[in-house]
Amino acid sequence: MSAPASLALQGSMVLTNLRLVDGDGSEPQEGLALVIEDGVIAVVVPETSPAARDGVDLGGAFVMPGLVNMHNHFSLSLPGPGGDAVSALGPHDLALYMADAARRTLLAGVTTVRCVAEKGGADFALRRAIDAGLVAGPRIRTAGRALCCTGGHGHDTDDTLECDGADGFARGVRSQISLGADLIKLMISGGIAGEHEQITTPQLTRDEMAAAISTAHSWGRRVTAHAGPAAVIAEAVELGLDCVEHGYELTPEVAALMAAHGTALVPTLVVTRAQAFFDDLGVPPWMQERSLAAGDRHLQSYRFALDAGVEVLLGSDMPPYWHFEETTAIVRELEHMQQGGLAPLDVIRAATSAPARWLGDEGRYGMLRPGHAADLIAMPGDPTAGIEALRGIDFVMRGGVVVRDDRARAVVAS
């Protein structure tokens, strides 16, 4: 017999007196109760049902699926003193640092993450530890180390793997899959954080992209790419790219191409509006200037994607739990998505059911329906009326286990 997990992985509970906001873009539903058994929503019943008797009263809170952050880095290290301190961590310290980041991420209401470049393989160990109940954190889907060319974007930290030539990139893909990667991340252009490059710098050849994408697809893995310029994105989309990260400089034509091919966009709008975060980390002036100067074009690019019907998905890039502009980075990203033209109901979908579908996990989480994981958040305000309501998140559950309940603490304090 194995030793019991240190943390509860599945819980059973009935939640009543709530207003249900599903992840499918529908309006809130009242008069319902969620019956949770062994970490899964067993049935949704009228709150007058005998099955709802003796449930936990949520006081009329709005309840929606937990957030899915599709651009996550637990080991992020940007240029500057803050990032240098992370890069200097040894493997044991790094693992503990990332475990703490995972715990904070979960408490911020993010119940699933897609990691898109982590250091030294620690993400695989962290995933195992969370799944075993050894540490608290969200469900992890990870790309392992991102693949870049020699000297390419992110080459100076070990969250990337330098590859060259079609054979090199094919081997790089296989190396991450052999470790347990759920997807593959490519660095196909320059970006904000590379001192000796520009956002518009193409970094992979057509043959390199084709080899990586076809190899990943052959192994049943989807591919996303750090990418800024339209021409580079267009070439990758034609080769079968499944998702674009950032997309700083899309055009209407390239956005239309993405929509036609079913290529999603994770816009990470907050990264070109993050001066306070950069100041916290001591990010050097050249990077701050590059980031802030890209902000207007980045927002225009996002609007081109919306107009073309590209599926957009939530991704913060910044640590989602970071206290930023009087909320968290993940909520601030959602607010930017709304302010950029996405209706609140569509923002909710982009943060819940749509990412689950991209990850191949449709039916497992991302909606509040029977058979789905009981991953959910609650708040007093109505997020369908304005996504800023998520600033009031005060209850987080993962797998039927309550991991945060601010209201319970308030009762005890009073």
Nearest to 115 by CA among 175, 58, 180: 180
Sequence letter at residue 369: R
The reported pLDDT for the residue numbered 200 is: 82
Give the CATH class of 13-65+366-413: mainly beta
Burial of 382 per CB tally in 10 Å (0-12, 13-18, 19+): middle
Residue 259's H or E segment, with its range, is helix 252-261
Return the number of other C-beta atoms located less than 10 Å from residue 212's C-beta.
Answer: 29
Give the CATH class of 67-358: alpha beta
Burial of 200 per CB tally in 10 Å (0-12, 13-18, 19+): middle
* pLDDT tens track, the chain, 414 positions: 566 668 999 999 999 999 999 999 889 999 999 999 999 999 999 999 999 988 999 999 999 999 999 999 999 888 889 988 999 999 999 999 999 999 999 999 999 999 999 999 999 999 999 999 999 999 999 999 999 999 988 777 889 999 999 999 999 999 999 999 999 999 999 887 777 777 888 899 999 999 999 999 999 999 999 999 999 999 999 999 999 999 999 999 999 999 999 999 999 999 999 889 988 989 889 888 888 898 999 999 999 999 999 999 999 999 999 999 999 999 999 999 999 999 999 999 999 999 999 999 999 999 999 999 999 999 999 999 999 999 999 999 999 999 999 987 655 444
Task: Quote the CA–CA distance of 62 and 9 in Å, as a whole number.
Answer: 24
CA 154, distance to chain mean position in Å, is: 19
Domain ranges within the chain, ordered by starting residue:
13-65+366-413, 67-358
The reported pLDDT for the residue numbered 3 is: 64
Task: Please check whether the two domains, 13-65+366-413 and 67-358, share a CATH topology.
Answer: no
Yes or no: say if 360 and 112 are a contact pair by the CB < 8 Å rule. no
Return the number of other C-beta atoms located less than 10 Å from residue 104's C-beta.
Answer: 18
CA 177, distance to chain mean position in Å, is: 20
Rounded to two decimals, the pTM is 0.95
Task: Quote the CA–CA distance of 342 and 320 in Å, as a whole number.
Answer: 20
Residue 237's H or E segment, with its range, is helix 230-238
Nearest to 313 by CA among 271, 257, 374, 359: 359
The reported pLDDT for the residue numbered 414 is: 43
Looking at the DSSP bridge assignments, the partners of residue 378 are 63, 395
